[in-house]
Amino acid sequence: MLPLYDFNLNGNIYIKPVLQLIFEQLSKTGFREFCFIVGKGKRSIEDYFTPDYSFVELLKKKGKEA
C-alpha cells in the first residue's frame, strides 16, 4: 500500500497505492482477471480492492453510477 504520485492527462496529481498503479497499467494492456495472494493480517489490501456494495448501490439510487 506504498503511496506514489500519479499524473493524469490534464496534469492533475493523484496519490495512489503502488499496487493500484500496477494493476491499472495491466488493465490498460488487456489483463482483466487478477489474483491476489496476501499474507495473514494483510486485511488493508483486501479492503482496498473489495467494492463496498452498499455504497455502489447508494450511488445507483442517486443516479451517479459510473
Task: Name the residue ranges covered by the structural domains of the chain.
Answer: 3-61
Q: Are 32 and 39 in contact (CB under 8 A)?
A: no
What are the φ/ψ torsions at residue 17 (nearest 5 degrees)? -65, 145
Which pLDDT belongs to residue 7? 86
Which pLDDT belongs to residue 21? 92
Per-residue model confidence as pLDDT tens for the chain (66 residues): 889 988 888 889 999 999 999 989 999 999 988 887 888 887 888 888 888 999 989 989 998 875
Q: Are 38 and 46 in contact (CB under 8 A)?
A: yes
